[in-house]
A = this chain, B = another copy of it.
Amino acid sequence: MKRPTIADIARRAGVTKSTVSFALNDRPGVSDATRARILAIAREMGWQPSRTARALSGGRAGVLGLVVDRPARTLGVEPFYMQLISGIEAELSSRDIALLLQVTDDARAQEATYRRWWAERRVDGVFVVDLRVDDERTKVLTELGMPAVVVGGPHGLGGLPGVWNDEVAPVRSVMEYLVALGHRRIARVAGLPGLWHTVMRDEEFERAARELGVTPSGGTADYTGDAAARVTRRLLASSAPPTAIVYDNDVMAVAGLGVAAEMNIRVPDRLSIVAWDDSALCRLVHPPLTAVGLDIAAYGAEVARCLADLAAGRPVTSACHATAVLSPRGSTGPVQLT
């Protein structure tokens, strides 16, 4: 028992393929009676369109692509991507669009993937994540004319639409919160230097520190626990160690908490810790981490909506999705005077 094609339906209905095609796609040129009959037969035969055939005849593939560029081991620990993917998926599956995923550990490979996917018409568009400053990929994508939405990047970047979050206001509120608790030496452990949101946060961190009379310090890590632990040890071993550290993701913050425990520095009594990217991870540890974050799955859903519209030829507008909110928990507290 093969699967029915429109030709089978046409034969049973006594019409031609074209009529069936028109009927099934709600296009004019078919009488109501015929249309109803065709639909009934199609349903009865369990017909489903062949995406492949549709894609071939100029239509859409019904697939959107995502390339994630992090080494396997790093990727696993960081909840961000999985949540983003879940959110994207939830939106896409309701529209009957599939998600093609590629994991690379090389920026060059990523570009090649875009080219290949587009050449093969495998996808109708792609999500661009981990936006860097002066990102080469945006040029490639505009050059290819490939629908793409920048996740976490500013509007108008290389002409690509984007959905991003307010990175400035949260930095400010975290700083004000810590200052209100009496902290004057605050460190920031930043993520990868080239990324757009890292730069945004760096700048606002410096500015806020200046304006609030805070002595800033910090370091850079690659979102892994190991790197963050190294930076944290260095910071805490200095002559005038920070009384609060803000980490650029949850994994690094947990690692920081581990280092504090290892050095017998009580949290939050002697050290306050704030994590970016609030996830279940932050509530897993003790004390639970104060974190600034937002609903990543919802963010993914909005991004997906945007790209789906773009790929379907509908007009889209870049938008700021949300401003992350601070959830104070057990890892932050007033400075203890010694």
Encode A60-102 as 1/0 by CB contact (under 8 A) with B.
0101000000011111111111110111011001000011111
Task: Please tell me if the beta carbons of A224 and B280 are within 8 angstroms of each other in the complex.
Answer: yes
Task: Please tell me if the beta carbons of A257 and B280 are within 8 angstroms of each other in the complex.
Answer: no
A21 vs B73: C-alpha distance in the bound complex, in angstroms?
A: 41
Least Cβ distance of A140 to chain B in Å?
15
Task: Please tell me if the beta carbons of B61 and A52 are within 8 angstroms of each other in the complex.
Answer: yes
- Is A56 an interface residue, CB under 8 A from the partner? yes
Task: Please tell me if the beta carbons of A280 and B48 are within 8 angstroms of each other in the complex.
Answer: no
Task: Please tell me if the beta carbons of B297 and A119 are within 8 angstroms of each other in the complex.
Answer: no
Least Cβ distance of A100 to chain B in Å?
5
- Is A240 an interface residue, CB under 8 A from the partner? no
- Is A15 an interface residue, CB under 8 A from the partner? no
- Is A108 an interface residue, CB under 8 A from the partner? no
Contact A79 to B80, CB < 8 A, known contacts A52-B121, A102-B93, A284-B258: no
Task: Please tell me if the beta carbons of B102 and A251 are within 8 angstroms of each other in the complex.
Answer: no
- Is A170 an interface residue, CB under 8 A from the partner? no
Task: Please tell me if the beta carbons of A101 and B101 are within 8 angstroms of each other in the complex.
Answer: yes
A291 vs B109: C-alpha distance in the bound complex, in angstroms?
A: 34
Task: Please tell me if the beta carbons of B61 and A284 are within 8 angstroms of each other in the complex.
Answer: no
Encode A28-55 as 1/0 by CB contact (under 8 A) with B.
0000000000000000000011111101
Residues from chain B with a CB closer than 8 A to the CB of A77 are 79, 82, 279-281, 284
- Is A261 an interface residue, CB under 8 A from the partner? yes
Residues from chain B with a CB closer than 8 A to the CB of A251 are 280, 284
Residues from chain B with a CB closer than 8 A to the CB of A74 are 280
Residues from chain B with a CB closer than 8 A to the CB of A81 are 82
- Is A12 an interface residue, CB under 8 A from the partner? no
Contact A102 to B89, CB < 8 A, known contacts A50-B121, A53-B56, A121-B52: yes
Contact A103 to B76, CB < 8 A, known contacts A121-B51, A284-B225, A284-B255: no
A217 vs B256: C-alpha distance in the bound complex, in angstroms?
A: 33
Least Cβ distance of A82 to chain B in Å?
4
- Is A211 an interface residue, CB under 8 A from the partner? no
Task: Please tell me if the beta carbons of A102 and B99 are within 8 angstroms of each other in the complex.
Answer: yes
Task: Please tell me if the beta carbons of B280 and A73 are within 8 angstroms of each other in the complex.
Answer: yes
- Is A122 an interface residue, CB under 8 A from the partner? yes
Task: Please tell me if the beta carbons of A76 and B72 are within 8 angstroms of each other in the complex.
Answer: no
Task: Please tell me if the beta carbons of B73 and A89 are within 8 angstroms of each other in the complex.
Answer: no
Residues from chain B with a CB closer than 8 A to the CB of A297 are 72-73
- Is A189 an interface residue, CB under 8 A from the partner? no
Going nearest first, the 4 A-B pairs with the smallest beta carbon separation are: A72-B86, A76-B79, A261-B286, A258-B286
A-B contacts besides A77-B279, A225-B280, A254-B281, 15 pairs, CB < 8 Å:
A48-B119, A50-B120, A52-B120, A56-B56, A75-B82, A76-B82, A77-B82, A78-B82, A82-B82, A85-B101, A85-B103, A99-B100, A100-B100, A254-B285, A257-B285
5 A-B pairs within 8 Å (CB atoms) are namely: A74-B280, A75-B83, A86-B103, A93-B102, A260-B286
